[in-house]
Amino acid sequence: MLKKLFSVIGFCCMTSVLGYAQELSCKVKILHEKITGVDQQVFTAMERGLTEFLNARKWGTDEFDATERIEVNILINIISKFGASDPDGYNATMSIQASRPVYNSSYSSPLINYLDRDFAFHFSQYTQLSFDDNRVSGTNPLESNLTAVMAYYAYLILGYDYDSFAPSGGTAFFKKAQNVVNNAPEQGKDIVGWKAVEGNRNRFWLIDQILSPRFIDMRGFWYSMHREGLDLMYTKPIESRQKILSGIPKLSQVQKDNPSAFIIQFFFNTKSDELTHILAQAPKEDKQKYVPMLSAMDVPNASKYNALLK
């Protein structure tokens, strides 16, 4: 992969000359048990169409070897239909999980672990899915909303992946995600999650905070955690663990300066288990130092951190 060639030489040595592939290796699963009166082939076509849309599209310009594609799992839980007036309209939630391999190990580190509850879309079994970065809106806003949401998370995943290999390396992809937000399908009662006024924990605020200078230290911690920590854990476990832990005070300061920021909990939704495992291997004095910081930043997972002190 050209983006990693200079930062992760070892990855390139592991790959073979098998040709190049797109960036994502995504599996899409549709849950539709709550929906009746719909031909099951519609949901089969939905899974197939979304999988092809995410995997076959070239989201950036770098070449990815087939063995380096980012693993993504998307679970769409369809909650209800719009009704007889729009038989192809659905309300759903979408769970997104993505991970990237850690050098010299069989372990994959999570990039995203998030549940988006603001997901309404239109899908027709016989309509080909399409997306244009420069013109998200279309004749059917709900149909456009489906691919817009998918594109947003594709860019977000790539942004976090690139940020993990170079300081602020994912900025171009994050800006593409922000462009999706700026050109989101026309507002309506069923299309939500794109506007600042709709709440403080949605797609708008996430990408706004990722790109804000107020959170630049979070992106620095993300890079050091992966490239200077996890990727070196096999050869330098003590130094790598300390590199990760030593960044927690900066993370804590960001949280203190922005106590209600959505990006803070988004980060811990993804990384709490990993940080707990890393800290579990640390000396007692490190646990006593860092557990209170993590517990204060990540209240929903405080019990996991505090258990390390027992």
Chain segment 23-75, per-residue pLDDT in tens = 999 999 999 998 988 899 999 999 999 999 999 999 999 988 877 889 999 99
CA distances 163 to 86, 216, 224, 271, 285, Å, are 41, 11, 10, 15, 30
Structure tokens at 267: 């980060």
**Both tokens assigned to 31:** 């849950």
pLDDT tier at 5, thresholds 50, 70, 90: very low
Determine the pLDDT at residue 152.
97
Give the residue ranges of DSSP H helices in the chain: 9-14, 40-56, 141-163, 171-182, 203-211, 216-226, 237-245, 248-257, 262-280, 284-297, 302-306
Torsion of CA 95, 100, 102, 103, to 10 degrees: 170
Tokens of 283: 């000396």
How many Å from the N-terminal Cα to the C-terminal Cα in the chain? 44
Each residue's pLDDT tens digit, 121-136: 999 988 889 998 876 5
Query: Is residue 268 over pLDDT 80?
Result: yes
Taking residues 214-241, what's their average pLDDT? 97
